[in-house]
Structure 1
Amino acid sequence: MCNNNTLIKDPYKQLDDYIDSLPYKKENLILILHYAQKLFGYLPDKVQWHIAQKLDIPSAKVYGVVSFYSFFTMKPRGQHSVNVCMGTACFVRGAEKLQNEIEKQLSIKTGQVTSDQLFSLDSVRCIGACGLAPVMTVDGKVHGRLNTSEEIKQVLDNYRPTN
């Protein structure tokens, strides 16, 4: 009898197969990390160590790349990633107030994930949408000129499941 669970491939095996398919493995560390983060959702120590072993490079090198690039994360993220721009234009136009309101509405602090794992909240230096300040992104989509609690609620509600 076939168990449906046998059809699901082990993510470490998927990662190994992907690495094995690359002609230049060590030179493709960033590409490998992107793939691993897509598979696992984030890059915990265990995954970083696995990649280092597979590529025969120091785990400190893998950690250095993961910690340097803001795209990579070492902690789980929510289903929807919310970022508040804290660049100069956004900060001057109320980014701190925007961030505080999002924290209030999601009942989390920046750097945390909601208890239902639906949203994670972070701040970023600048997203390059200064003319729309203050700005937040959700899953990379820019939402600008957010000045009221209701506007912020409407944006977040667009990402909540409908019953």
Structure 2
Amino acid sequence: MFTTFSLAVILDCTVRIVLGTALGALIGLERQLRARSAGIRTNALVALGSTLFVLANPLFRAIGSFIDCRRSINDYETVGHEYTFEVRCLQQHEVKIRSLVFDAVHRPGFSVRSIAATDLPDDIVSITAVLDTTKRNDADIEKSIEAVIQTPEVLGVRWDVEHITTSD
């Protein structure tokens, strides 16, 4: 019924649970022998709960990633696309434009890597956003920055896409 890998995983989890509970009971035994509160049962149950919580962490991470619609840590070892936006504006409008860029790139399907501003000559600021997606869809990118493009304070907008493959 079980493959070798599944049996190894079950055995590993079982050993961790038994070992965690036994070590908690050992600490409880020491406390009970010294007539302190929280003896064998309490420490064994706390250690069992902690062990189960640590073992369930990958499950919680996958559920959280699904709910959050962002990529999980394991997805970074896949093929994807990196979009780079550069928006230029006058320094006096930086706060407003940075807010527009922030709202534009924080959308489902995008994983924002960074947003940074760089001062340029003649009181011009370049706001650059770098994001990752698992699939290339230029129409979604254009829709996401439409509000930025149509803002009169924006001097220029440039975006670029690069196909990336990571393997660790």
Of Structure 1 and Structure 2, the greater strand share is in: 2
TM-score between both structures, scaled by the size of structure 1: 0.29
The TM-score, its normalising length taken from structure 2, stands at 0.29
Answer 1 or 2: higher relative contact order, Cα 8 Å, separation at least 6: 2
